[in-house]
C-alpha cells in the first residue's frame, strides 16, 4: 500500500473520494501534464494519472479546511479577532499542500535516480563478468536481479517480461523509457540496439562501464571546482560578516549614541543556524553519487 504524503486521510478513503472526482483529476492532468511522467519515474504507478490529480486537490482542500476549523476554534475559545489571519493561513496551507503533492513524485524520482546510479556500475561489472564467462544475456540479467537495489528491481521486471515470451530488445527499450536515470536508460537502450544489430555484447558492456567511470571522474572534478566558491561564500556569510558586521555596526551606532537593539543579538544566531543548515544541505545535495 502506498502512503499518500501530507494527507490525514487513509489511502482507501482518499482513493474513494478521488474516484468520485475523476473529471477534476483529468482536468488537473491536462493542465499539468508532467505529472504523468513523474508518476512513472517515481514508481507510483499504483495510482492512475487522473486519480493522483484528484488526490492532490482533495488532500489540499481537506488540509485547508481542517487547519481553518482548528484556528476558528482557537479564535472562539480565546475570543480573538483573527478572521483575516485564519483565511490567509488556510489559503497558504491549501497552496503548500497542493504544491507539495504536485512535486512529490518528482522528488521521489530524483531519489530513485541516486539509488540507481550508485549501483549501476557494480551491476554492469557483474553482468560483464557473467557475459565474459559465456553465460547468455538473459541468464546474466537474471543473476543481477538481486543484490543491487533499484537496478536489480528493474532487471527483475525485465526478466519477468522476457519469461512471458516478449522480445528481449523491445523489453529493454520499453523498460528504459520508464526509468528516470539517464545513465541506466542509455545502458538498456544500447544493450537493446546491440541485440538488434548483432554487435559484440561484451565489448558494448565494457565500453559502457568505462564511459560511466569517466563520467564519475568528471563529476568529482566538477564537484571540487564548485566547492571553492561555496567555501568562500561560507567564510564570508558564516564567519566574517557576523563578526565584522557586528563590530562595525556597534562602532557606527556608538557615534550616534544608540545601542544595538537586543532583538538583533537574538536574530544573528537564528540567521547563522538557518544559514548553516542551508549550506550543509547544499553541499550534501551536490556530492556526486560514486561507487
- Encode pLDDT of 170-216 as tens digits: 999 999 999 999 999 999 999 999 999 988 999 999 999 999 999 88
Sign of the alpha-carbon torsion through 47, 50, 51, 54: positive
Q: Is the predicted pLDDT of residue 6 greater than 60, yes or no?
A: yes
Q: How far apart are CA 201 and CA 137, in angstroms?
A: 9
State how far the Cα of 263 lies from the Cα of 252, in Å rounded to an integer.
18
Q: What is the pLDDT of residue 102?
A: 95
Q: How far are the Cα atoms of 9, 91, 141 from residue 73, in angstroms, in the given order? A: 21, 17, 60
Q: How far apart are CA 67 and CA 178, in angstroms?
A: 38
pLDDT over 70 at 105, yes or no: yes
Give the integer Cα–Cα distance in Å for 5 and 64. 15
Which residue has 566538477 as its cell numbers? 222
Average pLDDT over residues 102-113: 93
pLDDT at 89 over 60: yes
Tell me if 42 sits within 8 A of 101, measured CB to CB. Answer: no
Per residue in 112-153, pLDDT (tens digit) is 999 999 999 999 999 999 999 999 999 999 999 999 999 999
- Burial of 148-184, coded b for 16+ CB within 10 Å and e otherwise, reads bbbbbbbbeebbebbeeeeebbebbbebbeebbbebb
pLDDT at 273 over 70: yes
pLDDT (tens digit per residue) in 230-261? 888 888 888 888 888 888 888 888 888 877 77
pLDDT on residue 1: 47
Pick from 57, 46, 67: nearest CA to 100: 57
Q: Are 112 and 41 in contact (CB under 8 A)?
A: yes
pLDDT at 291 exceeding the cut of 70: no
Return d(Cα 106, Cα 96) in angstroms, integer: 16
Contact 196, 223 (CB under 8 A): no
Query: Is the pLDDT score of 56 beyond 90?
Result: yes
The answer to whether 184 and 119 have CB atoms below 8 angstroms apart is: no
Cα–Cα nearest to 151, from 205, 133, 223, 143: 143
CA distance 118 to 287: 12
DSSP secondary structure, 66-128, as one string: HHHHHHHHHHHHHT---HHHHHHHHHHHHHHHHHHHHHHHHHHHHHHHHHHHHHHHHHHHHHH
Task: Give the residue, 72 or 291, on which the prediction is more confident.
Answer: 72
Amino acid at each position: 500500500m502506498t502512503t499518500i504524503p501530507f494527507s490525514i486521510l487513509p489511502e482507501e478513503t482518499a482513493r474513494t473520494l478521488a474516484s468520485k472526482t475523476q473529471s477534476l483529476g483529468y482536468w488537473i492532468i491536462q493542465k499539468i501534464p508532467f505529472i504523468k511522467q513523474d508518476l512513472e519515474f517515481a514508481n507510483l504507478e499504483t495510482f492512475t494519472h487522473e486519480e493522483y490529480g484528484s488526490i492532490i486537490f482533495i488532500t489540499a482542500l481537506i488540509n485547508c479546511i481542517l487547519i481553518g476549523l482548528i484556528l476558528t476554534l482557537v479564535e472562539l475559545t480565546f475570543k480573538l479577532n483573527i478572521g483575516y489571519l485564519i483565511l490567509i493561513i488556510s489559503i497558504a496551507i491549501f497552496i503548500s499542500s497542493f504544491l507539495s503533492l504536485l512535486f512529490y513524485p518528482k522528488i521521489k524520482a530524483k531519489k530513485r535516480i541516486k539509488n540507481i546510479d550508485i549501483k549501476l556500475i557494480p551491476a554492469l561489472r557483474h553482468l560483464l563478468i557473467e557475459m565474459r564467462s559465456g553465460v547468455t544475456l538473459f541468464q546474466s540479467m537474471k543473476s543481477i536481479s538481486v543484490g543491487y537495489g533499484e537496478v536489480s528491481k528493474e532487471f527483475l521486471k525485465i526478466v519477468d517480461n522476457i519469461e512471458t515470451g516478449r522480445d528481449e530488445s523491445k523489453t529493454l527499450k520499453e523498460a528504459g523509457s520508464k526509468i528516470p536515470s539517464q545513465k541506466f536508460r542509455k545502458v538498456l537502450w544500447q544493450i537493446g540496439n546491440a541485440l538488434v544489430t548483432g554487435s559484440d555484447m561484451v565489448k558494448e558492456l565494457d565500453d559502457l562501464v568505462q564511459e560511466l567511470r569517466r563520467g564519475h571522474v568528471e563529476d568529482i572534478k566538477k564537484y571540487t571546482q564548485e566547492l571553492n566558491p561555496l567555501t568562500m561564500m561560507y567564510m564570508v556569510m558564516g564567519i566574517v560578516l557576523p563578526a565584522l558586521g557586528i563590530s562595525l555596526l556597534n562602532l557606527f551606532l556608538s557615534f550616534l549614541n544608540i545601542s544595538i537593539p537586543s532583538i538583533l543579538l537574538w536574530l544573528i544566531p537564528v540567521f547563522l543556524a538557518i544559514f548553516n543548515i542551508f549550506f550543509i544541505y547544499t553541499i550534501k545535495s551536490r556530492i556526486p553519487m560514486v561507487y
